[in-house]
């Protein structure tokens, strides 16, 4: 068998350009599979990173009973979810990595003559951990300010840039309705996060926000656990605590990992679809190999006749040509895998948040499919070679 | 021994039957040296191809070394071809990209001879044809006579019982042709059956026996030294021995 490899390699080396061209087809096909699956994986990783913290290990508490699906019981008005509830939840879950109440509203934010509409997020210091917020300058909301509500604000990147073009907003005052807030921090640009553009947000202490927005209930309490494994226990604890405090189950506990799982599923399908499309180019490459092999067989009729004259059986001739096809496909596949790997690496270099790592299964599948394509493409030419009549082949008739 | 009994090889061309061989009955004994002559198109190459198992008779029986071979399957046929027959062609048919050594190794490749032994035997075969020093040369770097000697080394490396040469000197000048013939005859003296198709009277005269073919039939048989000219041999048809 190694002799067959030597023979085939020598045969291919005499038609270098043609061999390289058909090899290139496989290279492109395999590189496409590797790169596209890497991009798919990158998208998955990117989304996973976006959901990190808010994803698998965050338990959210919402006021009202929305999960039973039925009509809310008559006569039962929804009890508010209060800051006191949030404080109690944090106490009840001392091992939680972070806990933050959240109240949301939209209002006009102004500085001097400039004004813009902004999303007002009332929360506490822990929100920084939960949403993975990074500061461009200043500080985030003060620790421990749950009930007092200082008149301070942290601006999203775009809000800061629009209200304070060219100057630092730190220490300046912004107006929200009748309220005046001192800017203590500015966030780094962040972009869309869970459907909200945090760059346009204004973060204020939760008690301040409730007064400004005239709310009696929180929108959410977010409890970030150390790992998803702690979710169930935390859920039970929160449930018990709130039932005890409210006297009934008028709240909803939400774990967003179901959403994450669904999204991840969609992205997996997307990755597979990309791989499938790229695999079509492998089939095209197979046609290229078949073409080259057919030309090769017809050009080497005399040689094939000679091989038969010196005793090569049909099976042996078939094997020689199959090995040639497999060599083209195999070499093209290895080059393609390397190329795809390099391109994925380049993507990671350009977009570090985008973990475009080619999955091992895709590289393996691309290589084995390319080999199979090579063998399939070589089958017909090899058979044609084996069936050549040696007399006609030697006589070039 | 080669035994052909009423062997036909027919082609149908546009509804017409063409008989390249039309009932050849012939025995060639082990170690014989037989020349085959005849006009162009008389069926000489076809006869050699049938004997060499490259072609199958349309009809008739063919025994090689006591074994009926006309209805062997492809795999058995290639094995018999490989082990018993050595072919030498007018056009040499060396593989251009392989050097002399590797060309000579080819039959052993398909016979599954281990690499080291293959190497050794090919070297010995090349030395026998006086080309020990040219083993690394490709066909394009060899003269016609040298190429034909490489082809002879290739044909003999597996020690076949029969060597079939179809106009082996057809492309060579006198001196080179002489050298090639001497090599073939040396093999014949060693016991290998030798059949040579030729248009060259001098070549044919060196054979013990000469078969004269015409229209796919053996129309005359004579001893090598009796041969004066093809025309005369054709005129003096003696169909039965
Ligand atoms: N594949 C084929 N199809 C049709 N006819 C063929 C085929 N092969 C050979 N023939 C015919 O069979 C006859 C014998 O051919 P063959 O090659 O044996 O002649 P030859 O005696 O070797 O001639 P030459 O001296 O020219 O080599 C010729 O008439 C030839 O045209
Ligand atoms: Mg001929």
Q: pLDDT class for A198, splitting at 50, 70, 90?
A: confident
Closest chain A residue to B96 measured between Cα atoms?
Answer: A303
Mean of pLDDT over chain A? 87
| Residue A264, pLDDT score | 76
Query: pTM for the complete prediction?
Result: 0.70
Query: Closest approach of chain A CAs to the CA of B107, in angstroms?
Result: 5
Q: How far is the CA of A395 from the centre of ligand 1 (A)?
A: 10
SS3 call for A181: strand
Q: What sign results for the dihedral spanned by CA atoms A278, A283, A284, A290?
A: positive
Supply the residue whose CA is at minimum distance from atom 27 of ligand 1: B40
Determine what percent of chain A is predicted with pLDDT higher than 70. 91
CB contact under 8 A, B74 and A314: yes
Looking at the complex, report in whole angstroms how far the Cα of residue A303 sits from the nearest Cα belonging to chain B.
6
B145 Cβ contact list (under 8 Å, min separation 6): B172, B173, B175, B176, B177, B179, B180
Q: Which residue has the tokens 């007064």?
A: A211
* Å between A308 CA and nearest CA of chain B: 7
Residue A362 tokens read as: 């895709």
Mean pLDDT on A352-362: 86
pLDDT for position A66: 57
Which tokens go with A243?
């039932």
Residue with tokens 């014949």: B188
Distance from CA of B111 to the nearest CA of A (A): 8
User: Are A3 and B109 in contact (CB < 8 Å)?
Assistant: yes
For the cut 70, the answer to whether the pLDDT of residue A1 exceeds it is no
Mean pLDDT calculated for residue range A270-280? 84
Query: B5 has which bridge partners?
Result: B61
H or E stretch including B88?
strand B85-89
Alpha-carbon distance A366 to B21, whole Å? 55
- The answer to whether A7 faces chain B, any CB pair under 8 Å, is yes
Whether residue A107 contacts residue A157, with contact meaning beta carbons closer than 8 Å, is answered with no
A14: left (phi over 0), alpha (psi -120 to 50) or beta: alpha
Residue of A310, A394, A395 with shortest CB distance to B110: A310
What would the 3-class secondary structure string for A175-190 be? EECCEEEEEEEEECCC
Average pLDDT of the segment spanning A1-15: 79
Per the prediction, chain B carries an average pLDDT of 93
| pLDDT number for residue A397 | 54
Which chain A residues are within 8 Å of B95, Cβ to Cβ?
303, 306
Residues A276-300, mean pLDDT to the nearest whole number: 89
More reliable by pLDDT, A8 or B192: B192
Range of lowest pLDDT (A17-21, A174-178, A274-278, A322-326): A274-278
Mean pLDDT, residues B129-156 taken together = 95
pLDDT at B47 (0 to 100) = 97
Dihedral sign, CA of A120, A121, A123, A125?
Answer: negative
CB pairs under 8 A between A and B: 66
Chain B interface residues facing chain A, Cβ-Cβ under 8 Å? Answer: 45, 49, 52, 54-55, 74-75, 78-79, 81-83, 87, 89, 91, 93, 95-98, 106-107, 109-111, 115, 154, 158
In this predicted structure, the answer to whether residue A3 has a pLDDT above a threshold of 80 is no
> Per residue in B150-193, pLDDT tens?
999 999 999 999 999 999 999 999 999 999 999 999 999 999 99
Residue A370 has pLDDT above 60, yes or no: yes
Domain ranges for chain B, please list them: 2-236
Q: Are strands A98-111 and A173-176 parallel, antiparallel or unpaired?
A: antiparallel
The pLDDT score that the predictor gives to residue A263 is 79
Distance CA(A346)–CA(A340), nearest Å, equals 10
Q: Which residue ranges have their beta carbon within 6 Å of ligand 1?
A: A 392, 397; B 11, 13, 18, 20, 38, 40-46
The pLDDT score that the predictor gives to residue A277 is 84
Task: Average the pLDDT over A30-59 and give the result.
Answer: 80
Nearest CA in chain B to A386: B74
B2-236 has which CATH code?
Answer: 3.40.50.300
The protein residue whose alpha carbon is closest to atom 7 in ligand 1 is B11
Give the pLDDT confidence of A115-152 residue by residue, as tens digits: 998 899 999 999 998 888 899 999 999 988 788 889 99
């Amino acid at each position: 068998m190694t002799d067959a490899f030597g023979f085939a390699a020598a045969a291919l080396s005499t038609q270098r350009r043609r061999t390289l061209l058909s090899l290139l087809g496989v290279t492109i096909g395999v590189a496409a599979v590797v790169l596209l699956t890497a991009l798919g994986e990158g998208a998955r990783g990117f989304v996973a990173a976006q959901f990190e913290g808010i994803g698998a290990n965050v338990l959210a508490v919402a006021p009202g009973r929305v999960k039973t699906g039925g009509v809310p019981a008559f006569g039962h008005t929804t009890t508010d979810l209060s800051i006191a509830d949030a404080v109690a939840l944090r106490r009840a879950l001392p091992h939680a990595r972070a806990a933050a109440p959240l109240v949301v509203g939209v209002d006009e934010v102004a500085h001097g003559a400039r004004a813009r509409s902004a999303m007002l997020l009332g929360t506490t210091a822990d929100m920084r951990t939960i949403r993975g917020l990074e500061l461009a300058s200043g500080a985030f909301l003060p620790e421990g300010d749950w009930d007092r509500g200082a008149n301070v604000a942290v601006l999203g990147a775009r809000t800061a840039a629009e209200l304070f073009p060219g100057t630092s907003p730190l220490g300046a005052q912004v107006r929200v309705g009748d309220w005046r807030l001192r800017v203590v921090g500015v966030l780094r640009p962040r972009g869309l996060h869970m459907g909200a553009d945090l760059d346009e947000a204004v973060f204020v202490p939760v008690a301040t926000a409730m007064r400004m927005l005239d709310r009696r209930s929180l929108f959410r309490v977010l409890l970030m656990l150390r790992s998803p494994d702690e979710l169930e226990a935390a859920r039970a604890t929160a449930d018990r605590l709130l039932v005890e405090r409210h006297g009934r189950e008028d709240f909803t506990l939400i774990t967003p990992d179901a959403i994450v799982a669904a999204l991840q599923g969609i992205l997996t399908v997307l990755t597979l679809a990309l791989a499938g499309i790229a695999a079509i180019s492998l089939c095209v490459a197979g046609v290229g190999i078949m073409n080259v092999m057919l030309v090769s067989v017809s050009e080497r009729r005399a040689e094939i006749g000679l091989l038969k004259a010196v005793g090569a059986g049909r099976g042996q001739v078939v094997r020689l040509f199959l090995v040639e096809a497999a060599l083209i496909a195999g070499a093209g596949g290895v080059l393609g895998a390397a190329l795809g790997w390099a391109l994925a690496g380049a993507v990671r270099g350009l977009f570090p948040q985008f973990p475009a790592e080619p999955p091992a299964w895709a590289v393996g599948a691309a290589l084995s499919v390319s080999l199979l394509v090579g063998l399939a493409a070589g089958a017909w030419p090899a058979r044609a070679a084996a069936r050549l009549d040696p007399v006609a082949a030697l006589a070039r008739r | 021994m080669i035994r052909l009994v009423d062997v036909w090889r027919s082609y149908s061309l546009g509804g017409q039957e063409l008989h390249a061989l039309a009932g050849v009955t012939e025995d060639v004994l082990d170690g014989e040296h037989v020349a085959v002559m005849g006009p162009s198109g008389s069926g000489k190459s076809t006869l050699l191809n049938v004997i060499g198992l490259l072609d199958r008779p349309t009809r008739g029986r063919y025994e090689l070394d006591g074994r009926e071979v006309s209805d062997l399957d492809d795999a058995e046929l290639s094995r018999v071809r490989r082990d018993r027959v050595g072919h030498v062609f007018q056009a040499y048919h060396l593989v251009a990209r392989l050097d002399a050594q590797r060309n000579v190794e080819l039959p052993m490749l398909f016979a599954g001879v281990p690499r080291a032994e293959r190497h050794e035997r090919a070297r010995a075969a090349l030395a026998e044809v006086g080309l020990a020093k040219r083993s690394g040369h490709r066909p394009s770097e060899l003269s016609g006579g040298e190429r034909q000697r490489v082809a002879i080394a290739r044909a003999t490396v597996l020690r076949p019982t029969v060597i079939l040469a179809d106009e082996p000197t057809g492309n060579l000048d006198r001196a080179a042709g002489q050298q090639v013939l001497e090599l073939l005859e040396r093999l014949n003296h060693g016991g290998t059956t030798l059949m040579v198709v030729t248009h060259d009277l001098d070549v044919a005269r060196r054979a013990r026996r000469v078969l004269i073919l015409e229209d796919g039939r053996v129309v005359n048989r004579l001893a090598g030294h009796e041969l004066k000219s093809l025309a005369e041999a054709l005129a003096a048809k003696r169909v039965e021995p």
